[in-house]
Amino acid sequence: MNGLKLLATGRCLPKTAVSNEEMSRWVDTSDEWIASRTGIRQRYFCGEGETALTLAAGAARQALARSGIDPAGLGCVLCATVSPDYATPSLACLVQAELGLPEDIPVLDVNAACSGFLYAVAAARGFLAQSGRHYALVIGVEVLSRLMDMTDRSTCVLFGDGAGAAVFEAVPNAPFASLQGARGGKAILANGPGPLAPRLTMDGRAVFRFAVEAIPRCIDGILTQTHLTLNDIDWVVCHQANERILDHCIKKLHAPAEKFYKNMARYGNTSAASIPIALDEMNEQGLLKPGQTLLCVGFGGGLTWAAALFTL
């Protein structure tokens, strides 16, 4: 099967950034508490007129324009999200209609929470192999503010809204590896749209323990599959849940900290959107260069985990 190369990225954030200081006016918390435990300084929350669709379409438009491809050549459109606007139509279908994307291709949402973007990348590769088409549009988008209890300080300070998108090309012999896994449980639980009030709950300590075990296991898994070492990897882009989780893993792996990109300070935890937002920020900063090898790792609700190695 062909490997995938990352061609282009885009991102779209709500207009309103909310600082830790502002959060401390809503709930009993402080910038010091949030920043020291998570590394988060601000997040974005959707306001009037901003939806999962407006964010996803904004990020997708940007990624497609930068890729230079004709959108008619897309082989699939995947949207990783746990907070779509509707149960059906899927967010991916709404994006397809909004952007006038092809009809004779798979268009679907993927729910694997914070691992969703990487689950979707692997699924996209499979869809391209099936059809022989060359390009995939993979979006990660969340409007977690609509699922959160804004009076629960143990969760509402952690998460944010946003979207990132990526266009991948199937290329013969391009290096590629991926893995996915799940351990069903309710350590992170969110009521979707329906009769129950929106509410996201989390056993923070259990999730912390899970994450610091899952990330090194994912990295080791990909390195074993590819017979590579961290020296061969230019960037490790992990799901941006929490700076302490990443620092813990870097220490455990004796890994070079400068290879691990971090931006949770600016966005909080945007679940499925966090990896593509990070990729787009890195692109914008000129950190991503042709020929580089990236190793991405997701972990979170489900519980799920996933990793992917691809090149630029």
Is residue 221 classed as helix, strand or coil in its secondary structure? helix
Which residues face 260 on adjacent strands? 236
Give yes or no: 239 in active site. Answer: yes
d(Cα 75, Cα 130) in Å, to the nearest integer? Answer: 9
Question: Which residues touch 65 (CB under 8 Å, ≥6 apart)?
Answer: 10
Residue 227 sits in the site that holds ligand COA (CB under 6 A): no
Of residues 176 and 210, the one with the C-beta less far from ligand COA:
210
CA-based max dimension of the chain: 54
> If binding is defined by CB under 6 A, does position 182 make contact with ligand COA?
no
List the one residue from 5, 37, 61, 66 that touches ligand COA (CB under 6 A). Answer: 37
Q: Interface with ligand COA includes 217 (CB under 6 A)?
A: no
Q: Which of 102, 204, 216, 221 binds ligand COA (CB under 6 A)?
A: 204
Residue with smaller CB distance to ligand COA, 102 or 181: 181
Q: Which residue has the tokens 């990443």?
A: 246
114 is a site residue for ligand COA (CB under 6 A):
yes
Beta-bridge mates of residue 308: 178, 296
Minimum distance from CB of 243 to ligand COA (Å)? Answer: 9
Q: Name the 3-class secondary structure at 152.
A: coil
Based on the shown chain and the rule CB under 6 A, indicate whether residue 207 belongs to the binding site for ligand COA: yes
Q: Select from 111, 178, 269, 270 the one that contacts ligand COA (CB under 6 A).
A: 269
The residue number whose beta carbon is nearest to ligand COA equals 204
- Gap between the Cα atoms of 279 and 281, Å rounded: 6
81: contact with ligand COA by CB under 6 A: no
Q: Of the two residues 237 and 245, which places its CB atom closer to ligand COA in the complex?
A: 245
Task: Return all residues near 21 (Cβ < 8 A) that are at least 6 apart.
Answer: 31
3-state secondary structure of 148: coil
Determine, following the binding rule CB under 6 A, whether residue 300 of this chain makes contact with ligand COA: yes
Nearest-CA neighbor of 7 among 117, 138, 100, 110?
A: 138
Residue tagged active-site, from 249, 269, 283, 296: 269
Indicate whether 162 belongs to the interface with ligand COA (CB under 6 A). no
221 is a contact residue toward ligand COA (CB under 6 A): no
Give least dist CB 209 to ligand COA, A. 9
Q: Is 262 in the site for ligand COA (CB under 6 A)?
A: no
Beta-carbon contacts of residue 300 (< 8 Å; ≥ 6 apart):
113, 114, 115, 188, 207, 211, 239, 241, 271
Number of residues that bind ligand COA (CB under 6 A): 20
Contacts of 157 (CB under 8 A, 6+ apart): 20, 23, 27, 29, 34, 38, 40, 268
Residue 115, H or E segment: none
Instruction: Provide the minimum distance between the beta carbon of 299 and ligand COA in the complex, in angstroms, as a whole number.
Output: 6
Q: Respond yes or no: is residue 283 known to be catalytic.
A: no
Regarding 153 and contact with ligand COA (CB under 6 A), the answer is yes
Contacts with ligand COA, residue ranges (CB under 6 A): 29, 33-34, 37-38, 114, 153-154, 157, 202, 204-205, 207-208, 211, 241-242, 245, 269, 300
Catalytic residues: 114, 239, 269
